[in-house]
Amino acid sequence: MLLQLACVFAFVALYVHGQELCTRPDGGHGTCIKYVQCPDIMERLRGRHKAGLNLAQYTCGFEGLLPKVCCDSCYTPEGNKGKCVHVKQCPHLNNYRYSNISSEKFYVRNSRCFTGRFDVCCGPLPQFNTEPWDNCQSQMTAFPPDPASGCCGYDANSGDKIFGGEDTAIDEYPWTVLLEYNDANKIKTYCGGTLISNRYVLTAAHCITDETKLPINVRLGEYDTRYDIDCVNADCAQPLQVIPIESILVHPSYSSFTRKNDIALIRLARPAIYNEFVRPICLTNSDVLRSVNEGVKLITAGWGRWNRTNNSPIKQKVTLPLVSIEDCQNAVNHTLNPPRLWKHQICAGGEPGKDACKGDSGGPLMLTSDGLLHVLVGLVSFGPKNCGKAGVPGVYTNIHSYTRWIRRNIYP
């Protein structure tokens, strides 16, 4: 049994991915997080018992002026309120550990809490029914949909630009976004990102850590940056959605020198409106590096540099082979600075004339199943200065390593 538990849960230290363990007023353990992320605290602040809440008793620190509280409540993967308990105290999650259904096992992994090694967020019994996209609208929340729901990772085309890529279809990869920056009172786009729910976008940390150049908006539904309304033949996209950024969370262990933990979470000021040109991608439920010897092909898309000097106005895509970290390390030793890679990165590419490039940073690296379901496996991080260099893959942040950090920092 202990071996099976170990296969589902990773070791949780006293301080992991920015989550500090703390002691609550009742003597129980919790994690020190922003008060807006704690379901119990927010429920009491919004309810009739606000007067009876002594927030100072729960306060364990501050993030700027916002108090952090010691919280033992949580949100389930689909956004319902739950409580962090040992997995054996949550009957349905305990049963899912032994299930032969992959979606149930993945649900357990995505339910892990930081309060203890075997703690999970126990909430209402989840539903795993696959619904057609038209029936997904009412289910869309700030929380990333599960791939088994059928409510993410499908585009209407199903059935730093991309160097050496090709134009996408106008409705292809509707989760790709552009970050807008205010540069000398002009709106410019320097990085991409990926929509994972109606309130959250993932991007690279290095895109938003320059205090002199911070993004202010997220542009969704873009195809051709030269026009306000995009049309290809008789197919016209809906108007762009430009949504202000409410907050940005950079991974607390990000290093601008090594590019380790090159990931950040953007919260939109209001929910995105879904249509054929704006939809979320699924977060991966498995580590693509396990398939490195199977000839896996991955896809990246964006508006970055497409020859050696100019960004593409039209969204581009390119298919790249997955490369092992070991082979990638040998290839980049004398070409990239810094060259030292680690297990939480993915390498893809190395084919001449095909690569992500300047302007694609933060954009998606995708794995597709039968050309239909797309899952996010990586984010564009860095690569050779001369994009598309033969034998030198690009380096991407491995999303599988950060799914728990992502989910734990999302709130309604």
Q: Give CA–CA dist 395/378, Å, rounded.
A: 9
Nearest to 112 by CA among 8, 252, 267, 221: 8
DSSP string across 225-287: TT-SS-EETTEEPPPPEEEEEEEEEE-TT--TTT-TT--EEEEESSPPPPBTTB-PPEEPSS-
Residue 332 is given by DSSP the state: H
Q: CB neighbours of 244 closer than 8 A, spacing ≥ 6?
A: 216, 217, 268, 269, 270
Active site residue 344: no
Strands (E), 106-208: 119-122, 162-163, 166-167, 176-183, 186-195, 200-203
Nearest to 140 by CA among 196, 214, 64: 196
Q: Which of 155, 224, 230, 262 is catalytic?
A: 262
Structure tokens of 93? 């999650």
Q: Give CA–CA dist 154/47, Å, rounded.
A: 38
Q: Which of 206, 251, 374, 400 is catalytic?
A: 206
Cβ(194)–Cβ(204) under 8 Å? no
Q: Which of 73, 111, 197, 361 is catalytic?
A: 361
- Angle in degrees, CA 368, 308, 380, rounded to 5: 35
Coil, strand or helix at 94: helix
Q: Give CA–CA dist 11/23, Å, rounded.
A: 20
Active site residue 262: yes
Strands (E), 41-171: 59-63, 66-71, 73-75, 81-86, 119-122, 162-163, 166-167
Nearest to 387 by CA among 363, 352, 361, 362: 352
Residues marked active site are found at 206, 262, 361
